[in-house]
C-alpha cells in the first residue's frame, strides 16, 4: 500500500496536493487503502480547473456554461436549428426547469426564439436566431481552440489512451449493466 501512495522512482512529477493528502491519510489511517484518491482527487481538481478555463471563453461571448450548452445543442441539430425544450434538456443533461431558465435568458438576449409546435399546440419549439447562430459559431470555434490548448500538455498517444479509458469508465458508470 505504501508504494501506491509514495512517489515512484523516476516519477517526472513532484508531489502535488493530492499526494500530500494521501500521505496524511496513510499516516493517520494506515489501515485504509487511500490509493483511489490518486485518481478521483486529481480528476476532481482537474475538472474544476478545466471548467474555470472553459468558462473564460463563454464569458467573452456573454454566455454562461448553460447558455453555451443550449446554443451548441441547437446548432448541432442542423437546419433549421431548432429543438423542443424536452429534447434540449436531454441533449444537455439538465432538468426541464433549468432548461426553461436558460431559454428565457437566451430569448431575452435575442439569441433564440420560441414558438408553438405545429403538431402540438401545447408544445413549444426553440430555434436559434441569426445572431444566435453567428454567436455560437464564433464561440464554438474559440472553445475548440481552447480545448486543444488545454490538452496541449498531453502527447497524442496519451490523449487517445485517456479518451479510451474515460469512455469505458463513463460507459460503466452510466450503464452499470454493461460492467456486470
Q: What is the pLDDT of residue 76?
A: 96
Q: What is the pLDDT of residue 53?
A: 97
pTM: 0.83
Q: What is the pLDDT of residue 180?
A: 60
Q: What is the pLDDT of residue 90?
A: 87
Output b/e per residue, 81-94; b: 16+ Cβ within 10 A.
bbbebeebbebbeb
Q: What is the pLDDT of residue 118?
A: 78
Q: What is the pLDDT of residue 5?
A: 47
Q: What is the pLDDT of residue 3?
A: 44
Q: What is the pLDDT of residue 123?
A: 77
For residue 149, which of 42, 56, 26, 59 has the smallest C-alpha distance?
56
Q: What is the pLDDT of residue 2?
A: 40
Domains belonging to the chain, first-starting first, are 65-138 (1.10.10.10)
> Which residues of the chain carry a pLDDT beneath 50?
1-5
Query: What whole-number distance in Å separates Cα of residue 171 and Cα of residue 122?
Result: 35
Amino acid at each position: 500500500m505504501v508504494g501506491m501512495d509514495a512517489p515512484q522512482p523516476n516519477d517526472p512529477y513532484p508531489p502535488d496536493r493530492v499526494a500530500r493528502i494521501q500521505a496524511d491519510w496513510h499516516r493517520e489511517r494506515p489501515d485504509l487503502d487511500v490509493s483511489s484518491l490518486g485518481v478521483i482527487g486529481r480528476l476532481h481538481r482537474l475538472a474544476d480547473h478545466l471548467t474555470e478555463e472553459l468558462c473564460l471563453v463563454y464569458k467573452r461571448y456573454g454566455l454562461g456554461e448553460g447558455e453555451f450548452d443550449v446554443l451548441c445543442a441547437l446548432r448541432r441539430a442542423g437546419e433549421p436549428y431548432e429543438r423542443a425544450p424536452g429534447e434540449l434538456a436531454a441533449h444537455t443533461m439538465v432538468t426541464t426547469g433549468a432548461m426553461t431558465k436558460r431559454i428565457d435568458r437566451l430569448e431575452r438576449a435575442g439569441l433564440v426564439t420560441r414558438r408553438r409546435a405545429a403538431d402540438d399546440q401545447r408544445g413549444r419549439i426553440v430555434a436559434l436566431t441569426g445572431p444566435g447562430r453567428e454567436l455560437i459559431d464564433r464561440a464554438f470555434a474559440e472553445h475548440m481552440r481552447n480545448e486543444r490548448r488545454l490538452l496541449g500538455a498531453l502527447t497524442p498517444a496519451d490523449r487517445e489512451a485517456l479518451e479510451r479509458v474515460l469512455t469505458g469508465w463513463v460507459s460503466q458508470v452510466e450503464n452499470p449493466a454493461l460492467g456486470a
